[in-house]
Structure 1
Amino acid sequence: MRRAVSLYLPNWPIDRLYRHLDAAAPPPEVPVVLVGRDRGRRMVTACNPSASALGLRPGLAASQAQALVPGLQTHDADPQGDRAALDRLAHWALRHYAPVCAADAPDGLAIEATGAAHLKGGEAGFLSDMEVRLAAAGIRARAVMAPTYGAAHALARFASGVPIVDEGEIGRTIGDLPLAALRLPETLLPALTRLGFETILDLERQPRAPLTLRFGPEIGRRLDQAYGRSFEPIVPVVDQTLPRAERLFAEPIGAAETLARYVAELVVDLCLALEREGRGARRLDLHCQRVDHRLETVRVATARPLRDPRRLTRLVCDRIETITPGFGIERMTLTASIVEPLDWRPSASRLGETEAPDVSGLIDILANRIGRERLYRLTAVESDVPERSVRKTAPMAADTAAAPASSGGWTPDWPRPARLFRPPEPVQTLALLPDNPPTHFTWRGVRRRIRRADGPERIHGEWAHSEAEVWAVRDYFQVEDDAGERFWLFRAGNGEDTRTGPQTWFIHGKFG
């Protein structure tokens, strides 16, 4: 199922102005407008929220706006600069979100998100990540995902509260939107309104032939694109500064073996270009343009900079099965969308030294098959609280100074279970206070008698992390039941003072 995203930037020129002015930008409560020329007249082209609240709007004469709002700040509009910045934003989205992104002037981006949403934790996370990142940069944005770009574009600009549309929901979600949501030429809208058409559904219910005869094919084309009856391609931006290789075919190709052969040729060409620049690829994007103008894409990533043709070819060819060639592919383009410096280095630093095994190839294969976010390793963090003493990191990431150097990571004095429960689960137990281990405990409806125990290991709360932990104490015990299973229990509190905890028991982990 196709997933297209429309990223709408409702006040792109104003947001660009504020970013350009930076510290010199006026406060939000000051009304600000951009002024441009339309056939010799000075007109308002954009307003900030304060100016809009005072009744100003794009299309108003600049002299009239200044008369209505004393003290109005005006700045010259820069439509060419806005378009160039929108192209740069499309390149940013290309690197961070999906291999097919394009500027949708004057106020948005078009993104082909099919097969890319899982990289950000699903469709909701994909949209939220874009909006949050742009908001942190001072740019207001609204993203909508739908099976067609026409539907996503309409909902992003003319609806609220519908960020994700599934297959079969297009008619219900866009039917009540105004005609302007169809991206029709402005010259058509007054004529359609005079005939009584107000919503998209009004046009959808009409016979196609009379509409085409009177208004031309544009209405039918936009309706078909919005409802998914015809395909609307998204032509991606091309970053000419990135290494790339391309093949054009006189006759379309479609067999998997043929695709794999040309992928191998493209990888060799790309690696030669990377070698000339002294760089390695961290991510590859394969674009396959079909004869019906649909674009099939494959994106693979590597754990470290790489320009080994054999390994890169295998990574890309492992994903060929996701390509649907249709009636054939007429163009293939392979781009290294993320590159990093890669210099030659010896296999061992000293003569006779054993080279450490290279597992990056295995990591690349697993990450591109199951998802890079599902592949990680654990590293130590300087914290006594067990759930804070570990964090996820990339498989090939270098260790940081998060854990004490003297300990080499986790302290070996007190073993930790390989599996921690989050959050810790309550258990019913019986123990002599303050320092004796429990004699039994009931967990998940099963009563277990304790044969052996070791402890307590007292862990104090981290007052710098939370004021509630100033007096908090946990007493941990390693226990073994009759079946030989080992568990990690703790009492919230020191067994004497209620300020240190409620004296209730929890299971925090399981050994083995």
Structure 2
Amino acid sequence: MRELGRRSEAAEHPFKRTASPASSAHLQSAPQVAAAPLALIGKVGRRDEIVSACPAARALGIHPGMAATHARALVSDLDFRAAEPEADEALLDRLALFGIRHSSPIVAVSPPDGIWLDLTGAAHLHGGEERFYQRLQAFCRRVGFTARIAIADTPGAAHALARYGAEDIAIVPAGGVAKALSPIPVAALRLDRGALAAARKFGFETIADLLPVARGPLARRLGLAAIDRLDQALGGKAEPITPREDIVTPAVERRLLEPIGTAEAIAQVMHDLLQDLAQVLQRKGLGARSLRLVALRIDGGEQVVAIGTSRPSREVPHLLRLLKLRIERIDPGMGLEQFRLLAPHTEPLDAENLGAILAGESTVRDPARLVDVVAGRIGPGSVFRIAPVESHVPERAVRLTSPILPAGSWPAWQRPVRLFAHPEPLHRVMALLPDQPPKRFEWRGKSHTVVAGDGPDRIHGEWWRRNAEVWAVRDYHRVEDDAGGRYWVFRRGDGVASETGDLSWWMHGIFA
């Protein structure tokens, strides 16, 4: 290559624009980062466009709206990644929920990359507007975000200043919205592409160009939507925002005129609370998966009982039956004067179609109610169903699952009815190597003489779990002793290679 006078590195793009003095100064002032410049690519219409770029990428001439192919040709080593708008929306929703709990009761997401906080009546709680934006800026810096903050009289003005203002932080005094918005580009009004094209056609570059124009001619040029956006930003038209609602645990409360202490009185209060809670859940379209009853005694002590259901429910008789099973655990003391019923865990519950049931077409009964009652008596951990797992190792081939869920299809394996959780060792075993079942063994201090046997069924270890199972082998045998007992035993190792096992015998299950 050197003899031919050629270079192996890529040549400069022939259509790349030369750097002007202003752009050279901008490049020098760009932040120096260790990683490659980053740009996000998204689908806009039928082509891939740059939807976002870091400051270092913008310094190289990459800007949102540029075609992805043009950006790749302009900067070859640019770090391109696919945009994830769903993940961005989820993150903004989490930040809005955090703002509700820590900043203001009215917080809304400002798509595509902002959050509105209504500080009306809440700024003094943070020490004023200036103190509030300082705390907000410190929070964003602490979690790794760069933020532009604007505080104005209207949501539209705050949106425009935060995205197109000259300063990263802007506080507009009351009545100064028009002056603050005058040098801002028309694009800050959140207009569509047609309105922006019309504004460029008629020479409207900044919002100040729109203010002296009468509303009628301006509407004919840019459309009524542009007039509405302008009036919303200036405060001439209200722009309500839809706040993010915090998830509140459904709860009801009863305060009694006189303390109670009998089981009948407590059951009556439970019934009243469940009726009130059922109405709350019905309005929200939810069903309770767990309930928590808190009873306050006269001496200030609390008595707490809880129940759970297999499926979401808001049926008062069924839930009352489960709560009554917990009355004996409540110590009323000198008397109970206040009750509070909460539903910490809820799930969506729609109306049930009873047409097929009323017509007699459905005969399948739901076991959820029976499971809830049995679990309420003996504990939820004692009611379960065995489900298969895709594994050849016997102790890993089953798992505990909910009793109301289908167990699934079982493989056609000859496994014992009773399988031990941990195999038990056998002693004084007599067997012919390498493949014969044992002739005699001792288990739990008792000697067994084998009269019949079948096998071996060889099971290899699951090598992807750990290195010790790469060569592990188990040879299982079904044996029957002279007393009629049928057992499932195995030997570690194949009887030939020592690395497959130590040839010890183990009891793993008993057949019926």
Q: Which has the larger radius of gyration?
A: 2
Name the structure, 1 or 2, with higher relative contact order (CA <8 Å, separation 6+).
1
Q: What is the TM-score when the length of structure 1 is the normalising length?
A: 0.50
Q: TM-score, normalised by structure 2?
A: 0.50
